[in-house]
């Protein structure tokens, strides 16, 4: 079985006090053995404090981005070794906001993915098409291109220690989620593309859906055979809502 994951991307939100309150609420209300793995991804500056607050809980810590370089003259950047050093096990790479607002190419994203893995972290690789690309029925081309950049640099075996998040850009922060069938179609396409190279790894890779997931729509999305949980933005900032989404996640058979 694939254990589902529900990861909260806090983006540019929070403060020391707000984060402490949110983490405290999550820790108090999370069941002792949740079906899904719970991950939170606060902004860089709060990671070390979040790691301290989360100690002893089953909630894992992730970062929202990582530098592709290991060290050197890269002002403002944070390396994979630094993230690992403060207690991060996961890192989001290739979020559409990074790809679009900061012009990250598929190749840069692939190098970030490799940098994270080189320090023993698990990358959460985001892929997904923009609205015009969906309207032109090009979502498979776009997702294939984004995925192939990582496959070419790192090989398929690398997905034994990675997570994929399919996030249609038109669904992120818009309140307009993909339908369960739309999500399932692309998730199945991603899994098939991995399976063409390695069927076992494809069957075991967790593929999350992201884009306006809420307590009210999580169950129907997570019921789809290839949807292994979610990457959650806005709804991850409210403990009740995030925990309700987490409770909706179900394991799926990997064969």
Interface with ligand PEP includes 210 (CB under 6 A)? yes
Figure out which of the listed residues 133, 167, 226, 241 binds ligand PEP, where binding follows CB under 6 A: 167
Figure out which of the listed residues 4, 8, 9, 67 binds ligand PEP, where binding follows CB under 6 A: 9
Interface with ligand PEP includes 173 (CB under 6 A)? yes
Figure out which of the listed residues 211, 218, 228, 229 binds ligand PEP, where binding follows CB under 6 A: 211
Interface with ligand PEP includes 128 (CB under 6 A)? no
Measured CA to CA in angstroms, residue 84 lies from 88, 89, 120, 212 at distances of 5, 6, 8, 29
Interface with ligand PEP includes 217 (CB under 6 A)? no
Q: What's the rounded Cα separation, in Å, for the pair 219 and 227?
A: 11
Interface with ligand PEP includes 116 (CB under 6 A)? no
CB 202 within 8 A of CB 194: yes
Which helix (H) or strand (E) element contains residue 40?
Answer: strand 37-41
H-type alpha helices, the chain: 16-29, 47-54, 80-85, 96-101, 106-118, 131-135, 139-154, 180-195, 199-204, 215-222, 239-247
Answer yes or no: 252 catalytic: no
Interface with ligand PEP includes 212 (CB under 6 A)? yes
The residues assigned a catalytic role are 95, 167
Q: Which residues of the shown chain bind ligand PEP in the complex (CB under 6 A)? A: 9, 167, 172-173, 210-213, 231-235
């Amino acid at each position: 079985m694939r254990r589902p994951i529900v990861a909260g991307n806090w983006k540019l939100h929070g403060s020391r006090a707000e984060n402490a309150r949110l983490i405290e609420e999550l820790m108090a209300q999370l069941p002792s053995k949740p079906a899904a793995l719970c991950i939170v991804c606060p902004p860089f500056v709060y990671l070390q404090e979040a790691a301290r607050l989360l100690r002893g809980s089953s909630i894992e810590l992730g970062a929202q981005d990582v530098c592709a370089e290991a060290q050197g003259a890269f002002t403002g950047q944070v390396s994979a070794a630094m993230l690992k050093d403060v207690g991060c096990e996961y890192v989001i790479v290739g979020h559409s906001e990074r790809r679009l607002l900061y012009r990250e190419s598929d190749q840069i994203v692939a190098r970030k993915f490799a940098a994270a893995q080189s320090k023993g972290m698990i990358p959460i690789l985001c892929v997904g098409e923009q609205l015009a690309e969906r309207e032109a029925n090009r979502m498979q081309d776009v997702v294939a291109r984004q995925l192939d950049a990582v496959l070419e640099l790192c090989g398929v075996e690398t997905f034994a220690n990675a997570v994929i998040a399919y996030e249609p850009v038109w669904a992120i922060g818009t309140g307009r989620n993909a339908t369960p069938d739309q999500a399932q179609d692309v998730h199945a396409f991603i899994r098939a593309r991995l399976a063409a190279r390695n069927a076992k790894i494809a069957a075991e890779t967790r593929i999350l859906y992201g884009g306006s997931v809420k307590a009210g729509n999580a169950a129907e999305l997570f019921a789809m055979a290839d949807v292994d949980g979610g990457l959650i933005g806005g709804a991850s900032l409210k403990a009740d809502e995030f925990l309700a989404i987490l409770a909706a996640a179900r394991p799926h058979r990997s064969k």
